Each structure stands twice: as C-alpha cells, then as structure tokens.
Amino acid sequence: MSLSRFNIDHIDLNNIDEFLKKIELSKLKLKRFDDEVIEFLSEFSSKILLNNSLRKYPELIVLANWFRKRNIFKIKEAHSNFIKHPLGTIFHVAPGNVDTIFIYSMFISLLNGNKNIVKISHRESELINEIIHTIDEVLCNPAFDNLRGYISIIRYENQEEITTKLSKICNCRVLWGGDNTINQISRLPLNPRALEVKFSDRFSFSVINSDIISSLTDKELEELSERFVNDLTFFNQEACSSTKLIYWVGKKNKSVIEKWWDICRKKIGSDILVPPIQTDRFVNQNLIAANLDVKVEHDPSIPVITLYSPNKNDLNFLRNNHFGNILCSQIFLKNLDMIGDLLSEKDQTCSYYGFLEDDLVKVFWNRSSVDRVVPIGKSLDFNYIWDGYNLFEVFSRHIGKE
C-alpha cells in the first residue's frame, strides 16, 4: 500500500483488505482525554500557530486555537462528571466543501480514545495537504508513536464495495456532506451494532434589528458589517452555517440598508470570485429571480436579492436553490414573530444583532430545527454540539451499573 508524503492512504479494491486487517489488529489503549492525545493536539496547534505561512488560512488558525490545551481542559472539565469509554472505530466521511471539518470530527473522536478512519475528498486541496503534513510532522515525534494506529486518512474513488467494507468494521459512521451523498452512503450496510450520524445540507440566516442598526455610528456599522462579511465569505458561503439570508426586522430604513450593503461590498471587493464562479453565481441568481417575486441588485461583489411577500414555499425554493458563491437575499419584516411562519427543519444557524438571544429562541421553539443561535460574526465558529448532537457523547459509550 503506497503512503504519500502527506500520510494519506490511497485505497482501492486491491489493498482494502490489507488496510482493514491493519485497523483490526491495532488494539484500543487510550482512555478518554488521554494525556498523550492532549499533548499531541497541543503540539499540532502550536505548529499551526507558529507557522507564518499558514496565516493565509484563517479557518486553520481558528481550528488550531480550538485545540489549544487550555480549551481542551475546559471541555474535559465540562465532561468530568460522566464515566464513559471509547466507542471503538469511527469512520468519518468528510465533505468536499469545508476543508477543516474532518479535523474537528477526527480529533474529538481521538479525545474519546477511538481509532479513526477518515475518507477525504479526492479533490486536491492545498489546505488539506498543509493540515495532513502538520499531523505527519507531529506524529514523527516518538512520544506519539502510539497514536499512529489511531489516525488513518484515506482517499478512494466512490466505490460502494470499499465503503461497505469500511462500514462493516466501524462502530460509528459519521457522514458530513450533501443530501445526495449522504443518502447514497446511508443505504449501505453497517455493522449491526454501529451508530450512524448524519450532518446533511442545512441553511443559515441572519436576523438584524433594523431599528437599532439605524442608530449605530459609522464606526459601529463598519464593525458589524465586517463581522457579517466574515460569516458570508469564509468557505465561499458553502458551509452549512454560512449565512445566505438576512431578515431585517422593524422599520425599513432604505438609506441605512443601502449604506450597509455599500460597506459590505467595499470590504469584499469586486474580484473575490474567479470568472467561472461569477458565471455560476449569475446563473443561480437568475434561477431564483425566474421563480420568485424578487428584485435583484446585480453587483460583482455581493448581488442582493430582495424577496417580496414571501411564503414558506418561496423560502423552501431559496433553501434548495442557493448554492453559495457570495450571494445574499433579504426579507423585510415588521416584527420578530413573523419569522416563525417561514422557518424550516433545514434551517441550522441563526446569527443575530439587536435582539436578545432568549427572544429568538422563543420564536424557534417547536417551530423549526434551528440548532444554533449566535451573534453575527460567530456563524462559522465550531462547537462540539453540532446540529443538536454532542460529539463527545456520540463518540463514547456508557457502561451500565446497578
């Protein structure tokens, strides 16, 4: 079996059985929050943060900060009252649109003492190569020899026979990706006692109090728009938690809204997308315009689609036909309760400004599956509670006692 420079196993039907044998022979020796794992994650984090050439990847810096020792100790403390044990072998299928998500999934599983098989996209990614190269560097430290059997990062063409073989030896299959990919994999058989967790397509939005935003100083408006732009542009707006729609709630102040978009567009610039992606976005906004009652403001930075008198079917069309690429929609509502009738189980993250978090939670209660309510600027922050699942619970097991 060939092993590339970046520690990726390239799997095919000729070597899958050899790979599985290697996985099955490695025994579980780690406990939850094992000191060796914490030190490994700390060294990984330090290497990322001290490498100036990686500063061009802000999502990687966020990831490295998340796995700093101080944060891990906080998480360990939060779970210290539970007596739990590793689940076994976790098979993670990574998405193709967010390069860092498989690391969160794998490292949280590792903190629970599990062996990990991670299938990453066959698409080449400079960021993924940097991440795996850093993992490989840290694993070269003899102090972490024991962890090599716990981390297997693999690539293979989408062959069902390979996925089925991997699924039959795992104790949990974790699927990150689009609905079609998840549906295709979910129908493949699992180890009878294995769990399956699915993180599928979701849609995220912002709620802004237009009465309060009208009273902001220029500096405050600049700062808020910068946080919003970060939520909008990271991952090319393709992450499940990337905001794609603003609900403006309150009195409509046309001049302030125009000023808001002017500031956002200046921060983004007109050359954020390469021409082929600009074409994809243009086709996307025209598709939405052809099917909904909207006004489209064309702009090379952020085109904005205003929906008039939308109903739930209109929003469902938008959710299913918005493909990212820095395209934003907006809806004007008189009060917060009006959002409730437009929500869907596909909605994931609500970022907000000018409202109390508790007031928003009341609107969402029993009306949708919104899983996260965060201030604007925090949409893309990772939390180990994701889509309503606590990953530290998912990747571990209780042993019952009388």
Instruction: Name the CATH superfamily for 8-201+387-398.
Output: Aldehyde Dehydrogenase; Chain A, domain 1 (3.40.605.10)
- In the predicted structure, residue 368 carries a pLDDT above the cut 90: no
* Highest-scoring range by mean pLDDT, 18-22, 33-37, 146-150, 271-275: 33-37
In contact, 382 and 61? CB cutoff 8 Å:
no
Instruction: Give the model's pLDDT for residue 179.
Output: 92
The residue among 358, 293, 361 whose CA lies nearest residue 329 is 293
DSSP 125-184: -HHHHHHHHHHHHHHTSGGGGGGGGGEEEEE----HHHHHHHHHH-SEEEEES-HHHHHH
Higher pLDDT, 400 or 103: 103
Q: Which residue pairs from 101-109 have beta carbons closer than 8 angstroms and sit at least 24 positions apart in sequence? A: 101/176, 101/382, 102/176, 103/63, 103/131, 104/63, 104/66, 104/382, 104/384, 105/174, 105/176, 105/391, 106/151, 107/41, 107/67, 108/384, 108/391, 108/392, 108/395, 109/391, 109/395
The dihedral of CA 381, 387, 388, 394: what is its sign?
negative
Query: From CA 319, how far away is CA 200, in angstroms rounded?
Result: 13
In contact, 295 and 308? CB cutoff 8 Å:
yes
- In the predicted structure, residue 271 carries a pLDDT above the cut 90: no
Provide the token pair at 56: 């061009």
Instruction: Name the pLDDT band for 275 (thresholds 50, 70, 90).
Output: confident
Can you tell me the mean pLDDT for 36-45? 97
Can you tell me the mean pLDDT for 376-387? 95
> Which range among 21-30, 149-158, 160-169 shows the weakest confidence by mean pLDDT?
21-30
- In the predicted structure, residue 256 carries a pLDDT above the cut 60: yes
* Position 309, amino acid: S
In contact, 9 and 152? CB cutoff 8 Å:
yes
Query: From CA 380, how far away is CA 376, in angstroms rounded?
Result: 10
The residue among 387, 391, 376 whose CA lies nearest residue 348 is 387
How, if at all, do strands 84-86 and 396-398 pair? Answer: antiparallel
Delimit the domains of the chain by residue range. 8-201+387-398, 203-375
Instruction: Give the model's pLDDT for residue 214.
Output: 93
Q: Report how far apart the first and last C-alpha atoms of the chain are (Å, whole number).
A: 47
Q: What is the DSSP letter of 343?
A: -
* Position 296, amino acid: V
The residue among 268, 72, 269, 95 whose CA lies nearest residue 174 is 95
Q: What is the DSSP letter of 370?
A: -
What residues have CB less than 8 Å from 48, skipping those under 6 apart?
A: 54, 60, 61, 63, 64, 134
- In the predicted structure, residue 367 carries a pLDDT above the cut 80: no
Please state which CATH number belongs to domain 203-375. Answer: 3.40.309.10
Query: From CA 21, how far away is CA 304, in angstroms rounded?
Result: 53
